[in-house]
Structure 1
Amino acid sequence: MKIPKPIQRGHTWRITVTYDKKRYSVTRDTPKECEQWAALKLLELKTGKTQVENGIKPSFPCHQLCEQYYAEHGSKLRSNYVIRSKLDNLDRILGHLATQSIHDFHPNDIVKWRNKRLLEVQSSTVLREFAMFSAIFSYAQKELFLIESNVWQTVSKPSKGKPRNQRISEDDQQAIFARSKWDNQTAPKYMLHYVGWAFLFALETAMRQGEILSMRRADIREGFIHLPMTKNGESRNVPLSAEAKRLLSLLPPENDVLVPVKVKTFKRTWIRMREEVNLPHINFHDTRHEAITRMVKVRKLPVEVLAKITGHKTIGILINTYYNPDAQDLVEMFNSSES
């Protein structure tokens, strides 16, 4: 069945589909969202309304539910690019469960998937994927009323595992930055330059990748940068070191978005850079670990001040996950306290 074209109404778009002499319509922000909704709606209508009326549950593949969840809910979340990336690789992540009907999911299926996935990736990754699929099935239960209970909630989650404590040494920093081919003195021009700039800026400020990519010129204030919205749902002010101010001064003045690089492009470029210098184990988020550890070592910041800078609501996570001193750092701090 052909998908009708969306019609623009002011700043929104509306689409209407007809099935069995009945009309169904919806309003969305973009034409693409309208078309996704229409395709899912027609599929839903065609998969056997008669069966439902006779008490038979029609097949509803997991991948179809995932796409409907993203169109209706996931695309509006701040983490939408992460969800989209996972769903784009659904066949690899879920295997045969991606095409299995949500009505045929059993606890044993989840257990087998969890144990297999733990052999493929880190437990923290499995935990995040587990939480995402659980949220999707909760959506099917509480919003679409397709299932009576969430099978994911009947199975034990994977353990968090040990916190990541990867540091970035001076040699690692120089190797990765050199690959950006930026001179650190003139305005960044190419994508590699901007990734190199963001790498150095993250080490100075402990800001997350998403926070750096969302910075606008109006956010720059006297001595700090204001982040209107962060991962924890609140705003934050990040003080700027002399080096951070210098880096900001190098950005082209016409840039409203200070780092004009899309998230996916940034990630691809970063991965290529680190692999080309044989440092595939270093993630961009490790700059946050390194920056926080340096702030304690160099600036001697008390933990309550550090939490305000980094945006951590839970002090335990800040101390146990992001502050990663090595043995020599601890020895130096211990001896300096005696002087």
Structure 2
Amino acid sequence: MRRTATRPTKAEAQAWAVAEEAAILSGARGEYPRRTLAEAVERYRREVTDSKTASTSRADNLRFDAWLRDFPELANKVLHEITADDLANWRDARLKQVSGSSVLREAQQYRPVWTIAVKQWKWAPKSPWQEIRLPAKAHARRRTGGWTEIRRMLRSAGASPRVAPSTPQQQAAWAMLVALHTAMRSGEILRMSRSTVDLKRKVYELPKHKTEALIGARRVPLTSRAVRLLRVLEAQAQREGRDAYFTISDASRDVLYRKLRDRTMIEGLRFHDLRATALTMLSKRVDVMTLARISGHVDINELFNTYYRETAEDIAARL
């Protein structure tokens, strides 16, 4: 809506224009700036996504890129004019391409754009996400890695737990080994270094991690087996005059691991499944509170329902 007014002086007219513009931007007039979804996403990236850990922000940005690229009509629409029908059309289109779990995961990333746009930026009166139905959360994965599979992948990469990795492929295999003995995430493993790992105290100081906002810096206890592995990486880093244990990025690790897994014809084993494998093995040795301290979980239910994957047959064999 166009607004006009006359004032006795130029200074008063400019002050009125500034006040009107501020009122519009704050939503006080019941009007909202004509900012598109693409503009909202870019601002959200700067203010929120870029402050996350490198691996998380990379994954989020890849989803945002795909969303804006694959749905240009939605991306170019004014944010406060986007309706529940628009989002329902996006949901239905995505369900023809990916699983309900993937759609739910994407929606959980996109919804906060509206939350901050409504509450802080005053770019829209409300979020249309409240009016659409999303797919139900799928059952947790039950896949774990078997040592037969792990040894096959190590042989294919030419890697040995007694010999430091000399190629990027071998570094990816070593990251897999460390994951199995520490139950850590990929990004946490690749950030290990001589300055953050204390092999004498068997502790890894981890200032940046997924639940940092809730629990602050983590101090991850290391098993004796993990320490034996890490001594090999520590010695290599010292010889080569670097602090970091690994020289590959998380993105490179992902590609290299997938190639290694597919080359050995191992089906369905994701790198993150190794974290669940390690926690399942550790659950036989420590109590649940200790396990949560190792994994960094603040929600015991998530630890039990998602990462504890011992089979009923294995449990029955111990009874």
Pairing partner for 1:145 from 104, 115, 122: 122
Matched, 1:243 2:225: yes
Query: Bigger shift: 77-86 or 99-108?
Result: 99-108
Q: What is aligned with 2:302? A: 317
Answer with 68-77 or 115-124: which moved more.
115-124
On the 8 A contact 2:84/2:132 being kept in 1, the answer is yes
1:201 aligned to 2:178?
yes
Query: Equivalences for 1:54-203 in 2 at 5 Å?
Result: 60-78=35-53, 79-91=56-68, 94=71, 96-203=73-180
Tell me by how many angstroms 1:283 deviates.
1.1
Q: Could you tell me the TM-score, scaled by structure 1's length?
A: 0.75
Which of residues 229, 249, 258 in structure 1 aligns to 2:245? 258
Which residue number in structure 1 is paired with residue 265 of structure 2? 278
Letter in 1 for 2:210: K
Q: Which amino acid counterpart does residue 62 of structure 1 have in structure 2?
A: L
Cα distance in structure 2, aligned partners of 1:94 and 1:181: 43
Task: Identify if the C-alpha distance between structure 1 residues 58 and 296 changes in structure 2 by more than 3 Å, giving closer, same or farther.
Answer: closer
**Matched position secondary structure for 1:218:** coil
**Alignment length, in residue pairs?**
283
**For residues 118-163 of structure 1, what are the alpha-carbon distances to aligned partners after superposition, in whole Å with 9 as ceiling and x for unaligned?**
3433333222211221111223223332211121233334321101
Unmatched segments (≥5 aa) in structure 1: 1-48, 50-54, 335-339
Q: Is the alpha carbon distance of 1:60 and 1:178 closer, same or farther for their aligned partners in structure 2, counting shifts above 3 Å?
A: farther
* 2:205 maps to amino acid: H
What amino acid does structure 2 have at the position aligned with 1:171?
T
2:195 equivalent to 1:230: no
CA contact (8 A) 1:177 1:199 kept: no
- Is contact 1:186–1:250 with CA below 8 Å preserved after alignment? yes
Deviations 1:159-197 (A, max 9, x none): 211011111122321233233322332222221111111
Tell me how far apart the structure 2 counterparts of residues 114 and 159 of structure 1 sit (CA, whole Å).
Answer: 13
The CA deviation at 1:204 is 0.6
Whichever residue aligns with residue 69 of structure 1, its letter is Y
CA distance in structure 2 between the aligned counterparts of 1:242 and 1:206, rounded to whole angstroms: 14
TM-superposed deviation, 1:113: 2.1
Q: Which moved more, 1:189-198 or 1:148-157?
A: 148-157
1:322-333 aligned at under 5 Å gives the runs 322-333=307-318
1:211 aligns with 2:188: yes
Give unpaired runs (5+ residues) of structure 2: 1-23, 25-29
User: How much identity, in percent, do the aligned residues show?
Assistant: 29
> Which SS does the other structure have where 2:143 is aligned?
coil
Secondary structure of the residue aligned to 2:219 is: strand
**Equivalents in 1 of 2:268, 2:42: separation in Å?**
31
Question: Partners in 2 of 1:323 and 1:294 — Cα distance?
Answer: 9
CA change 1:330–1:232 in 2 (3 A) is: same
User: Which residue is equivalent to 1:11?
Assistant: none
